[in-house]
Amino acid sequence: MSKDKVQIFDTTLRDGEQVPGCKLDTTQKLIIAERLDHLGVDVIEAGFPISSPGDFRSVSEIAKLVRNATVCGLTRSVQKDIEVAAEAIKHAKRPRIHTGIGTSESHIKFKFNSTQDKILERAVNAVKLAKKYVEDVEFYAEDAGRTDNEYLARVCEAVIKAGATVLNIPDTTGYCLPEEYGAKMKYLKENVTGIDKAILSCHCHNDLGLATANSIAGVINGARQIECTINGIGERAGNTSLEEVVMILRQHPNLNLDTNIDSKLLYSTSQMVSQKMGMPVQPNKAIVGSNAFAHSSGIHQDGVIKNRETYEIIDPEDVGVNQSSIVLTARSGRAALAYRAKNVGYELTKLQLDEVYQKFLEFADRKKEINDEDIHEIVEQSAVDVERVA
Ligand code: KIV
Ligand code: ZN
């Protein structure tokens, strides 16, 4: 049975770039956009064109450059925003305008000092205006995570009637629990007339560390687009991480969902974005962190050396990492030491290994990590006569 496709909407260049200190110039954005297109994302949110002349230029250049993905520009439900975004994306092969407005009680009261009916009217007018420029219009109900489901359904129904092709249901503050976010998608699927004419989209923030879990709950309950960023960067605690959702869907074939992403490019793309943005990837980051395929405890190392699958659920090559690494620390056992010693040319017998291991522990208690140079020194200082074979 063929799998249902989940569209990947990458917002590294818009929500991701909102990280303080991560500002990119147009040339850097073009390089990243081209890489995202190769990676296989379906939509690139290139920026917020009204926000600055620089952002307008970047969106416009990306629109000209990108071959396959849809290129999207963000707007508020404001006439000028929509006109400027339409101008910025006009050369895209597949242009999309992403417009929207806050729908939660708090946004309506404090941001807009308005009413539900007036907000709904602004939403409809924004979609109708965007529709004059492009066929593909995505509507976001900002803070949908904290928006009452019944009102949210009314807004969704009205904007679909006005022509919205995609409905973005952002958990803007990262507040929802996965069950709650999933139930919201299910509610919309079941209660919005015309919902089959539009794609439901997950846009989750990571304030409670639930962005990925919420996005997966969303697609399990009928959403077919996930908005995410490389390395999960974005406002505050960040957005859903692209590499995580892609690999979750891939590693769980029973979900019967997949994406168009070439997963072998995930690691190099993560590195590239990290370098361009000057934003290091945390070592324990799932999928792309430097420790994601590193094993350091003796029990794990022994298992991985016997069979990788004992402690790895992903083949590192599937995400573009050459191989798993066996890290030597004071917690490592003989199996790991023998393995690493063999890699640098020493075939140790059992007796030799016992001797060398004692010296190794002395070194390892002094140093955090033992490298290849240290192994030579350890072998030389041990009371064994062993020849290097390579
Ligand atoms: O988090 C959010 O609600 C957003 C919207 C502007 C789509 O980024
Ligand atoms: Zn966001």
60-102, pLDDT tens digit by residue? 999 999 999 999 999 999 999 999 999 999 999 999 999 999 9
The phi, psi pair for 226, rounded to 5°, reads: -120, 130
| pLDDT tens digit sequence for 282-300 | 999 999 999 999 998 999 9
CB of 136 sitting under 6 A from ligand 1: no
Q: Is it the case that residue 166 has pLDDT exceeding 90?
A: yes
**Across residues 154-165, what is the average pLDDT?**
98
Share of the chain above pLDDT 70, in %: 100
In this prediction, residue 9 carries a pLDDT of 99
Q: State the closest ligand 1 atom to the C-alpha of 205, by its place in the atom list counted from 1.
A: 1
Q: What is the pTM of this model?
A: 0.94
What are the structure tokens assigned to 105, written together? Answer: 């009680």
Task: Average the pLDDT over 39-48 and give the result.
Answer: 98
Relative to the alpha carbon of 170, which ligand is closest?
1
Residue 389 has pLDDT above 80, yes or no: no
Residue 387: pLDDT above 80?
A: no
Give me the chain's average pLDDT, please: 96
Helix (H/G/I), strand (E/B), else coil: 100: strand
How far is ligand 1, taken at its centre, from the CA of residue 274, in Å? 22
CA–CA separation, 263 vs 272, rounded Å? 15
The CA R_g of the chain, rounded to the nearest whole Å, is: 25
In sequence order, the 6+-apart residues with CB closer than 8 A to the CB of 78 are: 50, 126
The answer to whether residue 2 scores a pLDDT higher than 90 is no
What value does the mean pLDDT take over residues 127-133? 98
pLDDT by residue (tens digit) across 297-326? 999 999 999 999 999 999 999 999 988 899
For residue 380, name the pLDDT band (cuts at 50, 70, 90): very high
Beta-strand runs (E) in 48-155: 70-74, 95-102, 136-142
How does residue 390 score in pLDDT terms, banded at 50, 70 and 90? low
| 363, 370 Cβ separation under 8 angstroms | yes
Rounded to whole angstroms, how far apart are CA atoms 324 and 321?
A: 8
**Which residues have beta carbons under 5 A from ligand 2 (an ion)?**
15
For helices 266-277 and 26-39, angle between their N-to-C axes, nearest 10 degrees? 170
Helix and strand counts by DSSP (H, E) for the chain: 14, 12
Cβ–ligand 1 distance for 76 under 6 Å, the answer: no
Atom 5 (ligand 1): residue with closest C-alpha?
Answer: 142
Cβ(129)–Cβ(82) under 8 Å?
A: yes
For residue 239, the ligand closest to its alpha carbon is 2
In the numeric block, the tokens 């060398």 are attached to 356
SS3 143: coil
Domains, the chain, in order of start with CATH, read 4-277 (3.20.20.70), 294-381 (no CATH)
CA–centroid distance, residue 227 to ligand 2 (Å)? 9
Residue 1 pLDDT more than 80? no
